[in-house]
């Protein structure tokens, strides 16, 4: 058997089949099998072997290929990963089994935050992303069933919508106030020693512990310069969400021990109480717990105690009263309108059809999340506002009076109304609401271009 064949026999392919024989120990290996009870947290001294099982690696590869994503510092694309592993898997596997694998630094990327500022993402290399995904799958299998029922972020079969629904159920039960905790730069400020002490309680395999620490300490490359990472878990890697849930599980346990009603989604945590005074006591005591026990800082500017309808949670809020409806929080509406304004700017030089195409992609995703709100009048108003933006854009595209008149006539607007509209001194926004523009560009026409309604039943 030549070298290439030897490499291929240990490698899981992207389509789920094996190149040659199934993933197995290298020739001559005598590693003992993984413990039979794989879900027992106290039998994790052979976890590296479990991570490197062929089926787990296949699932990880499938996930990485599906998620795509940008290259890391080495420039390797997701599409190149399969070929790279065919040539190098035996060497990489040996390094992992011997506890000698060294991750590469992550590539720093900054993206704008919805509420202003930037969020710093760390993009691992594609190879490191694959290995992190393989680790995450095993960690999730061992740990998830032990996590709190009130934790909803980054967990299988759980969602932000379920978290919001749980919060609403507490309000209906008479919990009229909420202590809304915002952790300051949580992913950037996680203390590595605190985190690793919690990981070590769940994992006995020193090779896995060493690898987790290596990923945390891999460093960052930004504008060609390397910097150490002494704290934080880089957003952008598959391992970060499950590690953050493990750390914050200690917060969940503390809240449960105090018999408090709470909902947590990643680093967003809301505790529901029956009075302002109770909320202030919870805010003070839990802030001390987070800062002393977990070395996390509460952002006191964004954290507060108040009525649920005055606070936002995962982009939503609630109507007032004992039987609240789920509504879209005002900041979420403003961000959406800002995005639509950007997409419909007249200076982009795009046709109406092209603009609608870009809008469609954004609005379908937005509707998939916020379309669950229970105040449809808001969505109806947004639909009307978006259509009006598009009519104003068309009016600007036509530019001059003669062109505008010709376009209105071509679209079955009678000559008197067309002339009256073109002679109006009003600006594009006011003209967009005119009878002529509603006749020229009716709702059905915009729908034919692909414009979706924000009302799911439409």
pLDDT tens sequence for the chain (458 residues): 444 444 444 556 544 443 333 343 333 333 333 333 444 444 568 999 999 999 999 999 999 999 988 899 999 999 999 999 999 999 999 999 999 999 999 998 877 776 666 777 888 999 999 999 999 999 999 999 999 999 999 999 999 999 999 999 999 999 999 999 999 889 888 999 999 999 999 999 999 999 999 999 998 888 778 878 888 887 888 999 999 999 999 999 999 999 999 999 999 999 999 999 999 999 999 999 999 999 999 999 999 999 999 999 999 999 998 899 999 999 999 999 999 999 999 887 889 999 999 999 999 999 999 999 999 999 999 999 999 999 999 999 999 899 999 999 999 999 999 999 999 999 999 999 999 999 999 999 999 999 999 987 54
DSSP 8-state code for residue 96? H
How many other C-beta atoms are found inside a 10 Å radius of the C-beta of residue 325? 14
Q: Is 291 in contact with 174 (CB distance < 8 Å)?
A: no
Burial of 1 (0-12, 13-18, 19+ CB in 10 A): exposed
Burial of 67 (0-12, 13-18, 19+ CB in 10 A): exposed
Cα–Cα dist 227/124, whole Å: 15
* Closest C-alpha among 454, 151, 155, 421 to residue 328: 454
Cα–Cα dist 352/450, whole Å: 11
Cα–Cα dist 455/30, whole Å: 61
* Phi, psi (rounded to 5 degrees) for 258: -85, 0
Whole-number Cα distances in Å, 343 to 326, 369, 380: 28, 19, 20
Bridge-partner residues for 12, per DSSP? 18
Q: Is 130 in contact with 136 (CB distance < 8 Å)?
A: no
Q: Is 150 in contact with 268 (CB distance < 8 Å)?
A: no
pLDDT score at 119: 74
Cα first-last separation, the chain: 62
What is the reported pTM?
A: 0.84
SS3 192: helix
Whole-number Cα distances in Å, 417 to 406, 414, 430, 442, 447: 12, 6, 15, 16, 24
């Amino acid at each position: 058997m030549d070298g290439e064949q030897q490499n291929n026999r240990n490698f899981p392919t992207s389509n789920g089949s094996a190149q040659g024989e199934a993933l197995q120990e290298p020739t001559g290996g005598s590693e003992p099998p993984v413990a039979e009870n794989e879900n027992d947290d106290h039998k994790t001294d052979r976890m590296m072997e479990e991570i490197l099982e062929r089926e787990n690696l296949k699932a990880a590869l499938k996930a990485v290929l599906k998620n795509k994503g940008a290259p890391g510092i080495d420039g390797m694309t997701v599409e190149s990963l399969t070929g790279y592993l065919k040539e190098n898997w035996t060497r990489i596997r040996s390094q992992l089994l011997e506890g000698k694998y060294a991750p590469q630094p992550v590539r720093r990327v900054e993206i704008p935050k919805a509420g202003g500022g930037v969020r710093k993402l760390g993009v691992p290399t594609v190879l490191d992303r694959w290995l992190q995904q393989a680790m995450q799958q095993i960690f999730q299998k061992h740990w998830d069933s032990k996590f709190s029922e009130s934790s909803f972020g980054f967990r299988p079969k759980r969602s932000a919508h379920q978290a919001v629904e749980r919060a609403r159920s507490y309000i209906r039960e008479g919990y009229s106030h909420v202590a809304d905790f915002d952790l300051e730069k949580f992913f950037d400020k996680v203390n590595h020693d605190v985190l690793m002490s919690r990981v070590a309680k769940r994992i006995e395999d020193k090779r896995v512990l060493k690898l987790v620490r290596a990923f945390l300490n891999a460093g960052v490359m930004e504008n060609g310069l390397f910097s150490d990472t002494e704290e934080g878990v880089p957003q952008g890697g598959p391992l970060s969400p499950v590690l953050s849930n493990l750390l914050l599980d200690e917060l969940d346990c503390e809240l449960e021990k105090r018999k408090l009603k709470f909902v947590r989604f990643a680093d967003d945590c809301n505790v529901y109480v029956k009075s302002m005074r109770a909320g202030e006591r919870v805010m003070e005591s839990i802030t001390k717990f987070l800062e002393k026990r977990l070395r996390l800082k509460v952002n006191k500017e964004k954290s507060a105690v108040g009525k649920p309808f005055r606070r936002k949670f995962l982009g939503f809020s609630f109507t007032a009263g004992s039987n609240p409806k789920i509504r879209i929080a005002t900041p979420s509406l403003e961000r959406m309108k800002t995005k639509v304004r950007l997409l419909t700017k007249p200076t982009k030089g795009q046709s109406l059809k092209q603009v609608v195409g870009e809008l469609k992609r954004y609005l379908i995703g937005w509707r998939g999340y916020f379309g669950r709100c229970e105040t449809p009048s808001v969505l109806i108003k947004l639909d009307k506002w978006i259509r009006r933006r598009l009519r104003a854009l068309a009016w600007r595209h036509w530019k001059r009076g003669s062109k505008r008149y010709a376009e209105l006539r071509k679209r079955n607007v009678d000559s008197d109304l067309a002339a009256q509209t073109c002679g109006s001194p009003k600006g594009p926004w006011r003209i967009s609401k005119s009878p002529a523009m509603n006749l020229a560009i009716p709702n059905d026409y915009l729908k034919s271009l692909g414009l979706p309604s924000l009302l799911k039943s439409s």
